[in-house]
Structure 1
Amino acid sequence: MAKGIIIREAHFPGKAPIEAYGNGGFRFADMSHRGSLLVLPSGIHGWEPADPLALKASDFDKLFAEAGKVEILLVGMGKDLRPLPAALRAALKEAGISADPMSTGAAVRTYNVLLAEDRAVAAALIAVD
């Protein structure tokens, strides 16, 4: 019986400020992650939406599972600000979550400030090069 490498879903179980971003990933809690992140009260998760240019409510299933713990969602849309699709905005509003799309850099900075203020914040951060 051959033993192979077990690949687990990326997850950091806790809250941590984002220390750096760029080069296709992020640094936090003395670790680095390549790819996008979904930062929730339950921890920091690796996150790869099917199409970063067309986000859907299903891309946020983990967020909706924690909806009662989140008031503000910062959506780092990459290098440029893009509006959230109407269906996604409606689903977030129905869950009681205020969503603010912005560039990923602005989302990281704002997340760190709100985290330091102990606010009920989450972030969906699309990686940038």
Structure 2
Amino acid sequence: MQLTEMSFDDARPFDGYGPGFFRVGGDVVEGAVIVHPGGLRGWGGYADADALTAFAGQVDVIFVGTGTEIAHIPCELRDAVEATGLGLEAMSTPAACRTYNVLVGEGRRVAAAVLPVD
């Protein structure tokens, strides 16, 4: 198998995750986090729609990592985010981390808002 080195330019990829934490661009971050091409910030979870709507015009889609298993995004959060024109895709946190890394490596305008795994 041939492996190809990915270039992330200024974006910080997910390097790993574990119970309650993420490793992003070499740094360990505790709790829920939003990772985007410009950096990262803490996230208050499903009740924190403002943190996601702030990315309107900066990214096209936000991958929401719902933890160990895929779960539905609460309607209030989905409605608030999609009203700004942003796309929202729910998936398990491991899938959201992988998907973010691939697409940001391709230069796509994406972000990931992820809840920690157990």
What TM-score comes out, normalization by structure 1 length?
A: 0.77
RMSD: 1.5
Structure 2 residue 49 is matched with structure 1 residue 60 = yes
SS of the residue aligned with 2:53?
Answer: helix
Query: How much has 1:48 moved relative to structure 2?
Result: 3.2
Query: How much has 1:85 moved relative to structure 2?
Result: 1.5
SS of the residue aligned with 2:96?
Answer: helix
- Aligned twin of 1:3: none
Identity, in percent, stands at 42
Aligned residue among 81, 85, 99 for 1:92:
81
Aligned amino acid, residue 42 of structure 1: G
- Aligned twin of 1:108: 97
Aligned residue among 11, 22, 27 for 1:26:
22
Larger radius of gyration: 1
Q: Deviations over 1:22-75 (max 9, x none)?
A: 1210112221112111113432012233xxxxx23xx03133222101111100
Structure 2 residue 66 is matched with structure 1 residue 70 = no
Q: Can you give the 5+ residue segments of structure 1 that lack an aligned partner in the other structure?
A: 1-13, 50-54
Residues 40 and 63, structure 1, Cα contact 8 Å, conserved in 2: no
- Aligned twin of 2:36: 40
Counterparts of 1:119 and 1:47 in 2: how far apart (Å)?
22
Q: Which runs of 4+ in 1 moved over 3 A?
A: none
Aligned amino acid, residue 19 of structure 2: N
Residues 80 and 103, structure 1, Cα contact 8 Å, conserved in 2: yes
Q: Can you give the 5+ residue segments of structure 2 that lack an aligned partner in the other structure?
A: 1-9
Query: How much has 1:77 moved relative to structure 2?
Result: 0.2
Q: How many residues align?
A: 109
In terms of mean alpha carbon deviation, does 104-113 or 63-72 score higher? Answer: 63-72
